[in-house]
Amino acid sequence: MPIKMPANLPAYDVLTREGVMVMDPDQAARQDIRPLRIGLINLMPKKIQTENQFARLIGATPLQIEFDLIRMSEHQTRNTAAEHMESFYRPFDEVLASGEKYDGLIITGAPIEHLAFDEVTYWEELQQVFDWTQTHVHSTFGVCWGGMAMINHFHGVQKHLLPAKAFGCFRHLNMAPASPYLRGFSDDCVIPVSRWTEMRRPEIEAVPGLRILLDSPEVGPCLVEDSKHDALYIFNHFEYDSDTLKQEYDRDAAEGRAINVPCNYYPGDDPARSPQNRWRSHAHLLYGNWINQIYQTTPFEMHGIGR
């Protein structure tokens, strides 16, 4: 089954060319089915790239998905055209006032790791988002900084600055093979990492109800389940395209920033060679398992969502 999105959203053409089934709202309205409603709170500067990455993953399951784009109400992006934001994004205050509910919600990362959480200009509204998920979202997926912010809000777990950027593709261990979110996973997998901060294993393990599902001996915990809040927190980037780390490396190198060649990414660690994607299959598994778990547990009537 397809993912539903406006036919003029850039992701529509991108996914169609890749063979992902998509349909516009008029087509979807002719099907007698309740699609799963998944929202994306997009905090990344490159909005369109991020839309494509997550739409690709959640649109690859056999279920019909309605994909909604949401932004912070007052924060204005400088990297995406105002026309795109006006056409495709709803401010959170509008969603809040509507009383609408979602089967799933993804909250992305943001390039603001150097700031304390309460120094972020939209922190108060984001805290409101986190609390709203507890009554209006069946399952929430916090990604990178978004996941760190959620685990801090609900449990007080702190992020810690790293002495050097964790940057590259790192091996992660499957710590919970019986978890429905890791169904089909190998004993280990490779995941792209790009961050200046970390969440520490002892501090997560000290919180009742938190369970580390994926962990790395090199870059620490990656995927954490929070059963009390019906949430997953992932601190790394399964959603990345093959060349996303390359784009980051090329950008920093061109601007003269101190940046290491991303580890285990280029063949022979040679930036002149094309990087190889070694995480795509596990990325689809994880997000497909999340969608399937939502489908198995969400109420058929949207008003039943919440606690």
Q: Which residues are catalytic?
A: 144, 237, 239
Angstrom distance (rounded) from CA 113 to CA 8: 33
Q: How many residues are listed for the chain in this entry?
A: 307
Q: Which of 288, 279, 266, 292 is nearest to 238 (CA)?
A: 279
Residue 284: φ, ψ to 5°: -65, -35
At residue 247, the 3 state secondary structure works out as helix
Q: Which of 280, 231, 304, 295 is nearest to 1 (CA)?
A: 295
How far is the CA of 272 from the CAs of 261, 267, 268, in angstroms? 11, 9, 10
Burial classification of residue 137, based on how many CB atoms lie within 10 Å of its CB (0-12 exposed, 13-18 middle, 19 or more buried): buried
Residue 212: φ, ψ to 5°: -80, 120
| Helix, strand, coil share of the chain (percent; to 5) | 35, 25, 40
Burial classification of residue 84, based on how many CB atoms lie within 10 Å of its CB (0-12 exposed, 13-18 middle, 19 or more buried): middle
Q: Which residues of 35-72 are buried (b: 16+ CB within 10 A; e: fewer)?
A: bbbbbbbbbbebbbbbbbbbbbbbbbbebbbbbbbbbb
DSSP-derived letter for residue 18 is T
